[in-house]
């Protein structure tokens, strides 16, 4: 580590000791980069510290709150002019910086929603948190898919489909959205539509084991045994040891026995 790295570590330690969360620190740094375009590493180039419950940054003889840009002390005219004119950004650059800041804040809400899901938080609270992430970044395919899956488990098929399709509008190659639409179509009793979505998922990711598993079941239930065999084998190559692999082997053995019996009948 160099001297500046030690400064960064000390700054982070002081901020955490002052009660600032890791998420708030990340958001403050992102806001400083957006507001002060010539500052590439705020932790190294600026004095950042905890001011009560807030994070503050020292600029000249005064300080401001980086996330809101609020001036926390009076600036003299020269300093205020410097703050307002540094750095000069075009409208396009300013819009781009603002969009990046929103995407970053959206990612923080997305991470919070994931943590809430894993800790068993109230489902309504999790939904609101995902919605906050989406409001900040409507192209957040991950948040859209996860919210769709919550509605899927609530058996709210229309809302689940709406969010999955919004995810595909944001990212047409988002494999999980195609796969989940397959699950939704199968649950609604439309195996042909389900097969279509699973096939698209496999075209985008041929190593998607769960899609092979579900496609094998669909082909098997429709009597297309050789196609089912091919996907069971593909699944077992990708997942040879899980509980689901044991089920796949059992189904594959059934198909092999059925093929032998059918062959014996034809030979008579």
Query: Which of 30, 58, 88 is the C-terminal boundary of a domain?
Result: 88
- Asked if 238 and 160 sit in the same domain, the reply is no
Question: H-helix or E-strand containing 57?
Answer: strand 54-59
Which CATH number goes with the domain that contains 223? 1.25.40.10
**Residue where one domain finishes, among candidates 125, 156, 191:** 191
Whether residue 149 sits in one domain with residue 122: yes
The verdict on residue 199 lying in a domain is no
Looking at 51-65, 94-108, 120-134, 201-215, which range is the least confident one? 51-65
Mean pLDDT within 57-66: 63
Asked whether residue 156 falls in the same domain as residue 129, the answer is yes
Structure tokens at 220: 């098997």
Sheet holding 47-51, edge to edge: 47-51, 54-59, 62-64
pLDDT confidence bin for 13, thresholds 50/70/90: confident
Categorize the per-residue pLDDT at 74 as very low, low, confident or very high, splitting at 50, 70 and 90. very low
Same domain, 82 and 113: no
Q: Classify residue 117 by its DSSP letter.
A: H
| Cα-based torsion angle of the residue sequence 202, 207, 210, 211 in order, rounded to the nearest 10 degrees | 10
Residues 75 and 139 in one domain: no
Query: Residue 93 falls within a domain, yes or no?
Result: no
CA 68 distance to own-chain centroid: 26
Q: Are residues 29 and 63 in the same domain?
A: yes
Same domain, 83 and 137: no
> Is pLDDT above 80 for 261?
no
Domain membership flag for residue 33: yes
Q: Over the stretch 17-61, which tens digit does the pLDDT of each residue have?
A: 767 677 677 777 777 666 665 566 766 667 776 666 677 766 555
**Signed CA dihedral, 66, 67, 70, 72: sign only:** negative
Buried b (16+ CB within 10 A) or exposed e, 52-80: eebbbbebeebbbbbbeeeeeeebeeebe
Which pLDDT does position 84 carry in this prediction? 45
Helices (H), ranges, 20-90:
22-35, 42-45, 77-85
Task: At 110, give phi and psi (nearest 5°).
Answer: -60, -45
> What torsion do the CA atoms of 140, 142, 143, 147 make, to the nearest 10 degrees?
140
d(CA 165, CA 185): 13
Residue 113 in any domain: the answer is yes
Asked if 14 and 59 sit in the same domain, the reply is: yes
The tally of domains found in the chain comes to 3
Q: At what angle do helices 209-221 and 191-204 cross, to 10 degrees?
A: 150
Residue linked to tokens 């199968």:
186
- What pLDDT is stored for residue 80 in this prediction? 42
Q: Give the separation between CA 38 and CA 238, rounded to whole angstroms.
A: 48
Tens-digit pLDDT profile for residues 233-253: 999 999 999 999 999 999 999
Reply yes or no on whether the pLDDT at 6 is more than 80. no
Nearest to 169 by CA among 198, 148, 190, 192: 148
* Domain, as residue range, for 148: 103-191
Query: Which residues 6+ apart lie within 8 Å of 116 measured at CB?
Result: 125, 126, 129
């Amino acid at each position: 580590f160099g001297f500046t790295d030690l400064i960064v570590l000390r700054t982070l330690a002081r901020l955490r000791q002052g009660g600032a969360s890791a998420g708030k620190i990340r958001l403050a740094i992102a806001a400083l980069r957006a507001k002060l375009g010539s500052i590439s590493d705020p932790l190294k180039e600026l004095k950042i510290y905890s001011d009560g419950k807030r994070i503050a940054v020292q600029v000249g003889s005064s300080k401001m709150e980086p996330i809101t840009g609020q001036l926390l002390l009076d600036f003299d005219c020269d300093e205020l002019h410097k703050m307002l004119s540094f750095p000069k950004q075009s409208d396009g650059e300013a819009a781009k910086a603002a969009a990046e800041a929103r995407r970053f804040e959206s990612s923080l809400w997305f991470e919070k929603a994931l943590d809430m899901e894993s800790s068993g938080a109230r489902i309504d609270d999790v939904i609101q948190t995902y919605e906050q992430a989406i409001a900040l970044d409507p192209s957040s395919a991950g948040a859209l898919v996860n919210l769709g899956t919550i509605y899927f488990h609530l058996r709210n098929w229309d809302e689940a489909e709406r969010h999955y399709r919004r995810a595909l509008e944001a990212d047409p190659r988002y494999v999980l959205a195609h796969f989940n639409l397959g699950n939704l179509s199968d649950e609604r009793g439309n195996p042909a539509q389900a097969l279509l979505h699973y096939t698209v998922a496999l075209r985008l990711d041929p190593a998607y084991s769960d899609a092979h598993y579900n496609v094998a079941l669909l082909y098997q239930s429709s009597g297309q045994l050789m196609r089912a065999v091919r996907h069971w084998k593909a699944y077992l190559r990708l997942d040879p040891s899980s509980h689901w692999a044991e089920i796949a082997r059992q189904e594959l053995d059934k198909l092999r026995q059925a093929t032998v019996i059918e062959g014996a009948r034809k030979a008579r």
